[in-house]
Every structure is written in structure tokens, then in C-alpha cells.
Amino acid sequence: MELKALTKQVYDVLRDYPETRNSDIELTLRVWREFHGVQDQIDPALLFDLPREDNVKRIRARIQNEDREFVPTEWKIAKARGFEEDKWRELLNLKPRKKVLDLR
């Protein structure tokens, strides 16, 4: 599959299905369902023709980490992927976390 076409598919799924922003497996399955006709059961023979999860994951990482679009919706996931909390909150238009003053 052409990289440009797969990139558009991943982009569209991340945009339309926020739950896919937190899970590469969910993202890959949604790409397969939306663009490759996969239903609930996956014929193992199809795996040779479907986009691989590692390719989907690399594209997702570039969209989230470099382009800063469609970032994870859960802090636990964003933290594991190396986001700073304040920047992550800003990207999601969330209120900044409260600063704790050290009065020592």
C-alpha cells in the first residue's frame, strides 16, 4: 500500500474516532474496518494484504508527536508517549493544572 494513502487513512481515523488516539491496536483495526472491508472476523490470509500495525503506529506517532494533531485523550497514554502535561493540556484545550507552591 502506498504510504501517502495509508497516511490519509490514519489521519482520517484519528480525526473521526478519538478513542483510536490512545491505542495503536484500536487504530489499526479501525483503519482496516473503514478502508479495507474487514468486519468482525479477520481471515488470516488477509493479513498479507492489510496495512501492518507497525506502519500505522509510525504514522500515528508522526501525526501526534511531530505535527501535534489528534493527541491522546488520556493523560496516562500521553505521559507514556513522552508528552509534557502542560503542553498536552494546552493541545487539548484543557485548563492548566494547578501549581503547588512550595512554602519551605
Is residue 8 over pLDDT 80?
yes
Q: What is the pLDDT of residue 95?
A: 82
Number of domains in the chain: 1
The domain of 36 spans 3-91
101 assigned to some structural domain? no
**Is residue 77 within 8 Å of residue 18, measured between CB atoms?**
no
For the ranges 5-9, 28-32, 91-95, which has the lowest average pLDDT?
A: 91-95
Q: Is there a domain that residue 103 lies in?
A: no
Whole-model pTM? 0.86
Convert the pLDDT of each residue in 52-88 to its tens digit.
999 999 999 999 999 999 999 999 999 999 999 999 9
* HEC per residue, the chain: CCHHHHHHHHHHHHHHCHHHHCCHHHHHHHHHHHHHCCCCCCCHHHHHCCCCHHHHHHHHHHHHHHCCCCCCCCHHHHHHCCCCHHHHHHHCCCCCCCCCCCCC
Alpha carbons 71 and 62: distance in angstroms, whole number: 11
Q: What is the pLDDT of residue 94?
A: 87
With respect to residue 104, please indicate whether it lies within any of the assigned structural domains: no
Mean per-residue pLDDT over the chain, rounded: 92
pLDDT at 17: 98
Range of weakest confidence among 4-8, 44-48, 51-55, 97-101: 97-101
Do the domain assignments include residue 52? yes
Would residue 96 count as lying in a domain? no
